[in-house]
């Protein structure tokens, strides 16, 4: 089992309430049956209602965590989430280059759903450093606007914005449309082509960590050998199911239901005994 088990690393911030960040990523990896590992960049103080504070980890400790993992374990894919500041961005870039990391999915996290800045203002420009090493970058609408300088109102601007972000060095760009009215339309720009992924918007308030979950699912699928378009298609379906299975936990924007399919399977096995 351990010989075929794929290993996936998340480099992200901790969400003590379990809905986003490292915690969402590890649950996603678990549900994808890959071995999850984590490098923590920042410890946030948050719940489903609000982010109260964040304590960034020393960049040397971030480097040390990445090195400790890569020196000992073969990593099949890596997802990068909240990176907080310029020094941490540089530390991640240098170490991932040194380790010749492959299958890098970058979720350029900037602002939480509750409006807290998870990336220092001066670090927004430095995000382009990470674009250059990413195989797939997954900005939401406000992040794509900041990275490309294009105001996005619909699919046309999503495509233009994706092209600009590609020109800035990202190998492939998935613009997530969860913040736009209408359906949940994401557009993937890959090797000069556009691939739309559209699904009905699921009503409800369980969308805490949708972006974290999507990027962790894409990384897990890449680790398992899926090609980018299929990896994204399956990851989007996983997020949709997670929103539908959303858990009534907390008083604000609640978490996705990650392992419900596995729980359902276990229940069926128990019932058939
Ligand atoms: N209500 C919804 N129903 C179905 N899919 C959704 C819904 N909201 C978001 N999605 C999908 O979830 C994924 C993440 O999109 P979103 O735009 O919410 O990212 P994000 O803003 O980075 O997330 P987060 O706020 O967690 O950081 C996309 O594939 C998007 O289409
Ligand atoms: C550590 C961490 N990483 C990412 C998010 C974004 O998720 P959301 O936009 O759903 O608040 C978050 N809230 N916390």
How would you classify the pairing of strands 77-80 and 7-15?
Answer: parallel
* d(CA 178, ligand 1 centre) in Å: 4
Domain presence at residue 95: yes
Which tokens is 202 given? Answer: 């699921």
Say what the pLDDT of residue 261 is: 78
Query: Band of the pLDDT at 205, cuts 50, 70, 90?
Result: confident
Using a 6 Å cutoff on CB, does residue 180 contact ligand 1? no
Say what the pLDDT of residue 269 is: 92
**pTM, whole model, 2 decimals?**
0.96
Domain presence at residue 44: yes
Domain presence at residue 145: yes
CB 190 within 8 A of CB 138: no
What span, in angstroms and rounded, lies between the C-alpha atoms of 1 and 128? 38
Long-range residue pairs from 262-265, CB within 8 A, at least 24 positions apart, any chain: 262/31
Taking CA atoms, 187 is separated from 138, 197, 273, in Å, by 10, 6, 45
Which tokens is 148 given? Answer: 């490309």
The domain spanning residue 251 has which CATH number?
3.40.1190.20
Using a 6 Å cutoff on CB, does residue 212 contact ligand 2? yes
Say what the pLDDT of residue 68 is: 98
Domain presence at residue 1: no
Count of domains for the chain: 1
Domain presence at residue 152: yes
Would residue 210 show up in a list of annotated catalytic residues for this protein?
A: yes
* d(CA 209, ligand 2 centre) in Å: 6
Domain presence at residue 75: yes
What span, in angstroms and rounded, lies between the C-alpha atoms of 195 and 147? 20
Instruction: Report the percentage of the chain scoring pLDDT > 90.
Output: 90
Domain presence at residue 48: yes
Domain presence at residue 235: yes
The reply to whether ipTM tops 0.90 is yes
Which ligand sits nearest to residue 214's alpha carbon?
1
Provide the residue range defining the domain that includes 53: 7-272
Mean pLDDT of 49-75: 97
């Amino acid at each position: 089992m351990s010989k075929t088990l794929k290993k996936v690393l998340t480099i992200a911030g901790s969400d003590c309430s379990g809905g986003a960040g490292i915690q969402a990523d590890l649950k996603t990896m678990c549900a994808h049956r890959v071995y999850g590992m984590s490098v923590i960049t920042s410890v946030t103080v948050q719940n489903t209602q609000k982010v109260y504070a964040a304590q960034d980890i020393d960049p040397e400790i971030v480097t040390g965590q990445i090195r400790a993992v890569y020196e000992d374990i073969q990593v099949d894919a890596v997802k990068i989430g909240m990176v907080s500041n310029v020094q941490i961005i540089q530390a991640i870039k240098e170490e991932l280059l040194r380790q010749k990391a492959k299958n890098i999915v970058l979720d350029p996290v900037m602002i939480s759903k509750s409006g807290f800045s998870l990336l220092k203002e001066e670090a927004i420009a430095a995000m382009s450093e990470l674009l250059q090493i990413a195989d797939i970058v997954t900005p939401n609408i406000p992040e794509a606007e900041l990275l490309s300088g294009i105001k996005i109102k619909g699919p046309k601007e999503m495509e233009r914005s994706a092209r600009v972000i590609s020109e800035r060095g990202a190998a492939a760009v998935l613009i997530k449309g969860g913040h736009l009215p209408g359906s949940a339309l994401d557009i993937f720009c890959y090797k000069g082509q556009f691939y739309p992924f559209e699904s009905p918007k699921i009503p409800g308030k369980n969308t805490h960590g949708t972006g974290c979950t999507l990027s962790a699912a894409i990384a897990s699928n890449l680790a398992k050998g899926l090609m980018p378009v299929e990896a994204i298609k399956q990851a989007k379906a996983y997020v949709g199911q997670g929103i539908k299975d959303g858990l009534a936990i907390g008083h604000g924007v609640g978490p996705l239901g990650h392992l419900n399919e596995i729980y359902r399977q276990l229940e069926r096995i128990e019932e058939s005994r």
